[in-house]
Amino acid sequence: MGNTLEELADFASGGGRGALPQSALSAAELAVLDTIAAALGGVGTRNAAVSRDAAQEVFGEGDSPVWFAPVRLRKPGAVFANCAAASALDVDDGHRGASGHPGAAIVPAVLAEARQSGAGGLEILTAVAVGYDVALRIASARRQAAAISYASGRWTGYGVAAAIGSLRRLPADLVAQAMAIAGAEAPQNLPQGDSRTVSSVKGSNPWSTVTAIAAVARAERGATGPVDMLDRAQVYDVPAITDELATRWFIKETYLKPYACCRYTHPALDAVFALTQGRALAGSSIERLVVEIFPEARKIANETAPQTLEGAQFSLPFTIALAALRGPSVLRPLAEPSLRDQEVLALSRRIEVIYADDFAGAFPKQTPARVSLFSAGEKQSKTVMHPWGDPANPMDRPSVARKLRDLGKGVLDDEAVDRLITVVSALKGGDARSLLCVLSQPTGLPVDAGPEPSVLT
């Protein structure tokens, strides 16, 4: 094998992959369900709406569906919009070692490609697992000192190109060129380096995905990329990228998010819910509320009075105040009316955040937090080392289905949500058409009439 990227490309194209274990296929199915849930919740946000409108102007109208919206765009535009919706609420999946979010890029790209190729359910799940594995291996092997930005878009394009190559059954040399082009031209996203200014710019998965789609098309037409770009010891732990390739599946190591806000806030949220037993407290009953958390959490903006959903998603004091006073349901999803909740804002300003020395060095393998609640002259404390959804404290499939139901309120009726859950389950049985038809409809309802094309376009 020539180099690391070519070895990954051979794996993606099928040469070194073999049959996926059932555990990896099940993880891929859960990733599809979770990403669709994130997009369903995010489709109504301002960030997603702006992205749809911009995608329509830039890419133009076409035949590819924007999920849960009455819009059809050309394929790159639809994928761009679906990626934006999936990441809008910050409720999409992630990986500790990679410090970012694979699903919001890889799942929309795979499902868009499957509409064109007529791929079956097992092919879709295999491509998703391969895309996650490639992207997360590369991202997890980065040396922290060399990382310009931890934005997901810096590395998800590798996985998108690999997944599309897997679905198209491209030869390994073309997959390698596509991955190299996608990686070389990935968005920089400097705001996710040192900036603490809250904006609509998130992990750049929409652009990364479109870049990767274009990279595959260019590679098929003879374009080339720097295929040795992963073999840089100063940037990557190079041997780690391919260690246990085809036997260790990184998709099984991702975390899922029960709350629509930055993962850094989740251990503290779980601690609050444990202390309150999920019940909403009265603001007047809270004398002090202290959050001790791993030092890297100081990198998020932590506004006490956020003006946007993005500001709220990346604020420890605000989300903790909201959780304490309004309970878990208010974070499924976090919505704009909460930004104007005066009692929450008052408590947010009083919350003490401490970047604890005893949690130093835990990140990124762990994201611990300790919350101390002082009420009626008494102190209660709770420490959480593994927030709900981590591999060490996983969300099961019924929990993800419940997440989809909660995020879908106001967008889909109960029958449509049930149908969506059912058709995702059908992927392991080989049926892809049912899911793709559901996602083709603005309301998520199944197609009852019309032509039966052999390939969905």
- C-alpha 267/C-alpha 370 separation (Å) is 8
Among the listed residues 321, 292, 313, 301, the one whose alpha carbon sits nearest the alpha carbon of residue 385: 292
332 close to 259: Cβ distance less than 8 angstroms: yes
- Which pLDDT score, from 0 to 100, does residue 424 have? 98
355 close to 346: Cβ distance less than 8 angstroms: no
* pTM of this prediction exceeds 0.85: yes
Residues 6+ apart with CB under 8 A from 416: 408, 438, 443, 444, 445
Amino acid 388 reads W
- C-alpha 221/C-alpha 57 separation (Å) is 27
- C-alpha 82/C-alpha 48 separation (Å) is 8
Give tens-digit pLDDT for 146-179.
Answer: 666 778 999 999 999 999 999 999 999 999 999 9
263-384 CATH: 3.30.1330.120
Pick the CATH number of 4-253 from 3.60.9.10, 1.10.4100.10, 3.30.300.10, 3.40.50.1980: 1.10.4100.10
Give every residue of the chain whose pLDDT is below 70, as ranges: 1, 15-16, 145-148, 190-198, 443-457
Give tens-digit pLDDT for 110-121.
Answer: 999 999 999 999
For the chain, what are the domain ranges?
A: 4-253, 263-384
